[in-house]
């Protein structure tokens, strides 16, 4: 671990000014960054502690939607009455994200900024990984790709995005609010992650809040996570689904997959094709999903993810439909 400077910022302007320095990174809950420091994945020149910034831990809901402060703890958001009642997919995603101890420390903003969990990226010895060393290649392409992406991956990186919360926010059309030296701006969640999972944040910018619009699909939503062990594990496949159902038929739906792409993977073709489909019609549900799943490109060891994700999507749709 290399030496670094430490600075505690007590106001947002001071935090932004400190983060403008070359090599500066923010520190909040520390559940992600501290691991990267120990493993040699991150080597910042300056740590800017933003954990004490007033007002950024606010959680509020009104008729227009839900506002989640970037420094709100995952456990506080998961247990908030309005989140559990009107945005259940968010609460469920948070509870399934990590152990209670980690949820008590980790912040929502930090969760969205976490990096992938590819074993080649996290290896204790240096292996080909473009995320660790640009231009070195992607060892997973010819190696163990069981956990790799099946949608949207490139030759540069096949790692899926790790955040459960991000999948729920993608399905519910969230907006990310950020602030930097150039002022404030809002980023539609669909534009927040790039093709390799990197975020749209500019150097020195901080996430300040997440806004989720109020909707019937948000109120009747569900997050389903499939993993190899029940506790404290990242998703093989996950699904966030929000539905409005009338007389047993889907009127409106929002769907996003996790564990299968470098970013949360929205099933927009399926959202249109599912309109009017009966919740009990398994074949019609599969046909409506087929258009999006035709784009799947599994590797050598993860072909099972395609069928697993399709079945998970159907199950999540039905569970969310029961809430409608």
> Of all residues in the chain, what percent carry a pLDDT higher than 70?
99
The single-letter DSSP state of residue 73 is B
Rounded to two decimals, the pTM is 0.95
Give residue-wise pLDDT tens across range 195-229: 888 999 999 999 999 999 999 999 999 999 999 87
Whether 125 has a pLDDT exceeding 90, the answer reads: no
- For the segment 31-60, the average pLDDT, to the nearest whole number, is 88
Strand partners, 62: 65
The DSSP code for 114 is P
CA separation for the pair 259, 96 (Å, rounded): 13
Cβ pair 274, 268 in contact under 8 A: no
pLDDT for 115 equals 86
* Cα dist from 278 to 208, 285, 303, whole Å: 40, 8, 28
Nearest to 101 by CA among 162, 37, 31: 31
pLDDT at 166: 98
What percent of the chain shows pLDDT beyond 90?
Answer: 83
Give, as one character, the DSSP assignment of residue 260. S
In this prediction, residue 273 carries a pLDDT of 98
In tens, the pLDDT along 93-111 reads 999 998 889 899 999 999 9
Cα–Cα dist 108/209, whole Å: 9
Cα–Cα distance for residue pair 140/262, rounded to 1 Å: 14
C-alpha 78/C-alpha 76 separation (Å) is 6
The DSSP annotation for 142-207 comes to TS--TTS-SSS-BTTB-PPP--HHHHHHHHTT-EEEEEETTEEEEEEGGGTB-TTS-BSPPTT-EE
173 in Cβ contact with 240 (< 8 Å): no
Domains of the chain: 1-53 (3.30.43.10), 216-323 (3.30.390.50)
First to last CA, the chain: 51
Residue 1 has pLDDT above 70, yes or no: no
Cα 189 from chain centroid (whole Å): 10
Q: What is the dihedral of CA 267, 178, 41, 54, to 10 degrees?
A: -120
Q: Please, are residues 214 and 203 in contact by the beta-carbon 8 Å criterion? A: no
Q: How far is CA 145 from CA 4, 119, 150, 303, in A?
A: 35, 9, 10, 10
């Amino acid at each position: 671990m290399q030496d670094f400077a430490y600075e505690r910022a007590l106001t947002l302007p001071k935090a932004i000014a400190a983060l403008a320095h070359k090599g500066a990174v923010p520190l909040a809950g520390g559940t992600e960054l501290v691991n990267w420091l120990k493993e040699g994945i991150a080597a910042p020149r300056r740590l800017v502690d933003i954990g004490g910034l007033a007002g950024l831990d606010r959680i509020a809901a009104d008729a227009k939607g839900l506002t989640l402060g970037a420094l709100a703890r995952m456990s506080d958001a998961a247990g908030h009455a309005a989140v559990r009642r009107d945005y259940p997919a968010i609460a469920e995603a948070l509870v399934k994200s990590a152990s209670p101890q980690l949820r008590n420390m980790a912040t929502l903003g930090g969760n969205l900024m976490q990096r992938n969990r590819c074993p080649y990226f996290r290896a204790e010895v240096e292996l080909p990984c473009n995320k660790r060393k640009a231009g070195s290649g992607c060892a997973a392409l010819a190696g163990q790709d069981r956990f790799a992406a099946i949608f949207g991956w490139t030759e540069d990186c096949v790692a899926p995005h790790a955040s459960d919360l991000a999948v729920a926010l993608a399905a519910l059309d969230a907006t990310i609010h950020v602030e930097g030296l150039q002022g404030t701006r809002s980023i539609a969640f669909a534009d927040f992650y790039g093709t390799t999972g990197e975020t749209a944040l500019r150097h020195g910018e901080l996430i300040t809040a997440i806004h989720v619009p109020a909707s019937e699909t948000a109120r009747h939503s569900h997050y389903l996570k499939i993993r190899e062990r029940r506790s404290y594990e990242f998703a093989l496949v996950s699904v966030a689904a929000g539905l409005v159902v009338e007389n047993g038929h889907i009127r409106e739906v929002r769907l996003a997959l996790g564990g299968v792409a470098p970013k949360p993977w929205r099933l927009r073709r399926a959202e249109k094709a599912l309109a009017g489909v009966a919740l009990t019609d398994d074949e019609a549900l599969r046909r409506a999903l087929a258009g999006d799943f035709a784009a799947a490109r599994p590797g050598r060891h993860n072909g099972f993810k395609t069928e697993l994700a399709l079945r998970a999507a159907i199950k999540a749709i039905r569970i969310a439909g029961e809430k409608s």
